[in-house]
Amino acid sequence: MHESYAKLVGAATGSTMTALTMTPFDVVKTRLQTQRPPSGKPCVRNMSSLARPLAGEELVCVWENGVFRAERVNGFLDAVKHVWKAEGMRGLWKGAGTTLVIGVPSSTSYMLTYDHLLKVVLPPLLPAPVVPLIAGVLARGVISSVASPLEMIRTNLQSTPLSANNPHTLRSVLSSIRSLVRAQGMPVLWRGLSATLWRDIPFSGFYWASYESLKKSFARNGHEGAWVAFISGATSGSAAALITSPMDVIKTRRQALVMSASASEITSSFPLVKHIVRTEGVSALFAGLTPRIAKIAPACGIMIACFEGVGRLLSDH
């Protein structure tokens, strides 16, 4: 198979595998990031109400020592438990279809664009050490901008529902987005793009610079192959996820406001950062970090291992 087609198949294989296997981590991360701070409302839910989806303004009521005690979903495992109770296994894969629609074409295009910039376009123009960083930045900037409207749909599907008895569906999300477009125009489809770029461009630049450096380090010691790609990708992805976590929270909050009951919510990135820090503390900027890293580490490893491993295998035959 021709090398370019082999790389296309490798990228599509990796992006499909990550989209199908990593969606639950995305759902949990988004729920943790869109959960609102306690509002001071009394705990009025009963035990049977725990089987309903948790609404944005609600607290979880737990029967303890003869009284109902109010608490919020706190942490990765707690969020998994409540999504499972409220919506079953399907709830953990909410938005998987949209993730496939977004993920396979955008990730495939991203990988092929990066590879072309890395090996063909940039080497004659830039010093070799900065080529991976610049290639990653340019590739991610273009793909994130194009895919932003679809990313908004996926984020709102996975966000914490406003009504306990009415979890988000594709129809309700699309209806809200259509209303917003009629009221504010087409640019609203790119709400949160600035925060997305603030997250994705540093992530991509750091990831690729780190990945290429780690891979070369392994090669100097005589180690090559798909497992080297997986380890290098997973390690680089984890570090990049940690660094860019605050902007991931901002991006998720801004895009999830499409399904918010309040039209007066703060939607600009930096005022939203100040608002979150003031009302919820600095730790809120790292909400969902555990499921994000739990998703990104294997996802980056799988993606790059498939891209290089499958691509090399097919091109050799």
> Would you give the end-to-end CA distance of the chain in angstroms?
6
Closest listed residue to residue 74, CA positions, set 240, 266, 280: 280
pLDDT in tens, 195-225: 789 889 999 999 999 999 999 999 999 998 8
CA–CA gap between residue 166 and residue 155 (Å, rounded)? 17
Alpha carbon 220 to chain centroid, angstroms? 33
Closest listed residue to residue 23, CA positions, set 78, 86, 104, 82: 104
> What integer pLDDT is reported at residue 222 of this predicted model?
92
In terms of C-beta density within 10 A (0-12 exposed, 13-18 middle, 19 or more buried), how is residue 183 classed? exposed
For CA atoms 19, 199, 84, 101, the dihedral sign is negative
> What integer pLDDT is reported at residue 162 of this predicted model?
55
pLDDT in tens, 262-315: 444 556 778 888 988 998 899 999 988 998 999 999 999 999 999 998 888 887
CA–CA gap between residue 42 and residue 127 (Å, rounded)? 61
> What integer pLDDT is reported at residue 242 of this predicted model?
94
> What integer pLDDT is reported at residue 131 of this predicted model?
96
Q: What token pair was written down for 191?
A: 């709400």
Residues 6 or more apart whose Cβ sits within 8 Å of residue 254: 191, 192, 195, 267, 269, 272
Fold of 3-33+91-316: Mitochondrial carrier fold (1.50.40)
Residues 6 or more apart whose Cβ sits within 8 Å of residue 146: 106
Beta bridge pairs of residue 163: 166
> What integer pLDDT is reported at residue 188 of this predicted model?
82
> What integer pLDDT is reported at residue 140 of this predicted model?
95
DSSP 1: -
Type of residue at 69: R
Question: CB–CB of 139/113 below 8 Å?
Answer: yes
Q: What token pair was written down for 227?
A: 């497992």
CB atoms within 10 A of CB 223: 12
Q: In the chain, what are the domain boundaries?
A: 3-33+91-316
> What integer pLDDT is reported at residue 45 of this predicted model?
43
Phi, psi angles (nearest 5°) of residue 69: -115, 130
> What integer pLDDT is reported at residue 185 of this predicted model?
86
pLDDT beneath 50: ranges in the chain: 42-64, 67-70, 261-264
